[in-house]
Structure 1
Amino acid sequence: MTLVATEIERPTRSIPEILQKTRVLLVGAFDDGLHAHTALRRRALERLGCRVSSFNLMSDGGWLSRLRRVGLHDRFARAMAQTAPAVVLVMEGSQIGAPLVAALRRLSDAVWVNWFCDGKRAPTSIEPLAAAYDAVFVAGSAAVDRLHAPGLPPARYLPPGCDPSVHRPMRSRDQFRANVVFAGTATPHRERLLSELVEFGLALWGPGWRKTKLRDYCRGELLDHGDYVRAYAGASVAVNVQCSP
Structure 2
Amino acid sequence: MRRQLKRTRMRRKVAGYKKGFQDGVRDGACTAAFAAIPQPALPPRPLRVLYVPQGFPAIDHGVSEALRMSVGELHIAESSRMLELAASIKPDLVLVLNGLHFFPPNHLQQIDAIRGLGTRTAIWFADDPYFTEQTVEIAPHYDTVLTHELAAVDLYRGIGCSNVHYLPLGADPSLFRPMAVEPQYRSDVCFIGQGFWNRIELFDAVASKLSKHRVVIAGGLWDRLKRHRLLKSNIKDGWMPIEESVKYYNGAKIVINIHRTTEALSDNKNTYRLQGKSINPRTYEISACGTLQLTDIREDLPSYYRPGLELETFTGPRELMGKIEYYLKREDERRRIALQGLIRTMRDHSYAARIQRLLMLLGY
Class of the TM-score when normalised by the shorter of the 2 chains: 0.7 to 0.9
Instruction: Tell me the equivalent position of 1:60.
Output: none
Contact 1:98 1:131 in 2 (8 A): no
Instruction: Tell me the equivalent position of 2:244.
Output: 227
Instruction: Tell me the equivalent position of 2:53.
Output: 28
1:107-141 CA-to-partner distances (Å, cap 9, x unmatched) read: x2221100001245344432111000111111111
Aligned residues: 210
Q: Return the alpha-carbon distance in structure 1 between the equivalents of residues 204 and 184 of structure 2.
A: 20
- Which structure is higher in RCO with an 8 Å CA cutoff and minimum separation 6? 2
Q: Return the alpha-carbon distance in structure 2 between the equivalents of residues 190 and 29 of structure 1.
A: 25
Q: Return the alpha-carbon distance in structure 2 between the equivalents of residues 115 and 82 of structure 1.
A: 23
AA at the equivalent of 2:218? W
Instruction: Tell me the equivalent position of 2:257.
Output: 240
AA at the equivalent of 1:151? G
Q: Cα–Cα, structure 1 residues 56 and 150, in superposed 2: closer, same or farther, change >3 Å? A: closer
Gaps of 5+ in 1: 1-13, 58-71
Q: Cα–Cα, structure 1 residues 103 and 165, in superposed 2: closer, same or farther, change >3 Å? A: closer
Q: Return the alpha-carbon distance in structure 2 between the equivalents of residues 21 and 39 of structure 1.
A: 21
Scaled by the length of structure 1, what TM-score is found? Answer: 0.74
Choose which of 73, 78, 101 in structure 2 pairs with 1:51. 73
Q: Return the alpha-carbon distance in structure 1 between the equivalents of residues 111 and 159 of structure 2.
A: 19
AA at the equivalent of 1:191? I
Choose which of 107, 112, 124 in structure 1 pairs with 2:121. 112
Instruction: Tell me the equivalent position of 2:179.
Output: 170
AA at the equivalent of 1:112? T
Q: Cα–Cα, structure 1 residues 109 and 194, in superposed 2: closer, same or farther, change >3 Å? A: farther
AA at the equivalent of 1:169? P
- Deviating beyond 4 angstroms after TM superposition, the runs of 4 or more aligned structure 1 residues are 14-17
User: How many percent of aligned residue pairs carry the same amino acid?
Assistant: 25
2:55 maps to 1:42: no
SS in 1 for 2:51: strand
Instruction: Tell me the equivalent position of 1:141.
Output: 150
CA RMSD across the alignment: 2.7
AA at the equivalent of 1:233? N
Deviation at 1:244, TM superposition (A): 1.5
SS in 1 for 2:122: strand
SS in 2 for 1:231: helix
Larger of the two Rg values belongs to structure: 2
Instruction: Tell me the equivalent position of 1:158.
Output: 167
Deviation at 1:39, TM superposition (A): 1.6
Choose which of 198, 205, 221 in structure 1 pairs with 2:218. 205
SS in 1 for 2:171: coil
The answer to which structure has the higher helix fraction is 2
Q: Cα–Cα, structure 1 residues 150 and 36, in superposed 2: closer, same or farther, change >3 Å? A: closer
Scaled by the length of structure 2, what TM-score is found? Answer: 0.51
Deviation at 1:15, TM superposition (A): 9.9
Instruction: Tell me the equivalent position of 2:93.
Output: 87
Deviation at 1:235, TM superposition (A): 1.6
